[in-house]
A = this chain, B = another copy of it.
Amino acid sequence: MTTQTIVLNGGSSSGKSGIVRCLQAILPDPWLALGVDTLVDAMPAAMQASEAGIDFTPDGQVKVGPDFVALDAAWAEGVAAMARAGARVIVDDVFLGGAASQQRWQKALAGLEVLWVGVRCDSAVAAGREIARGDRIRGMAASQADVVHEGVLYDLVVDTTRAESLACAHEIATAVSSREARRRRRGSPARLRSG
């Protein structure tokens, strides 16, 4: 079936945003990019640094409270509804809960054709890129690099440690188009039989 949603999961500073922008540039159709950063930006400023909301500790830990969880769940429902209404959507997220985070998205995206992509980056390299970015709390990259992938199932895993964002995006775009090609072959049984 045609891919309706691409979900990218990876730790902070693993390179998700760069891959998303490359995907938007190289995929033939227009795709919406909606990430966890979009959600956090949409929340009241007071929810940041709040126990009920989302709290970034000085050593890079992220803790989310009940208000964040509730808005996050509604957000996932809304993103799924956009895809069901015909928008192609690239989601980028940080599965702080590992497999449980994926199950939450699987439930929200039920019935949609999803490509699950893991974005890996060696912890030390991601920590260095965190310094180069300068706009993130130090320690997030290292603390999230492995834990976000625990128990998560992917259709494809890319690794930005040595590969450029654009190369990773091309791998993902190839997976999208080959899935589409398979769908087309399966979708025309008469021709296949006559072949």
The chain A residues found within 8 Å of chain B, CB to CB, are 18-19, 21-22, 24-25, 30-34, 38-39, 41-47, 53, 67, 70-71, 73-75, 77-87, 125, 128-129, 131-134, 164-167
Question: How many chain copies?
Answer: 4
Q: Is the CB of A44 within 8 A of B73?
A: no
Q: Is the CB of A30 within 8 A of B71?
A: yes
Q: Is the interface of A mostly helix, strand, loop or mixed?
A: helix
Q: Is the CB of A21 within 8 A of B131?
A: yes
- Specify which chain B residues have a CB less than 8 angstroms from the CB of A75 in the assembled complex: 32, 82, 87
Q: Is the CB of A32 within 8 A of B21?
A: no
Q: Is the CB of A22 within 8 A of B74?
A: no
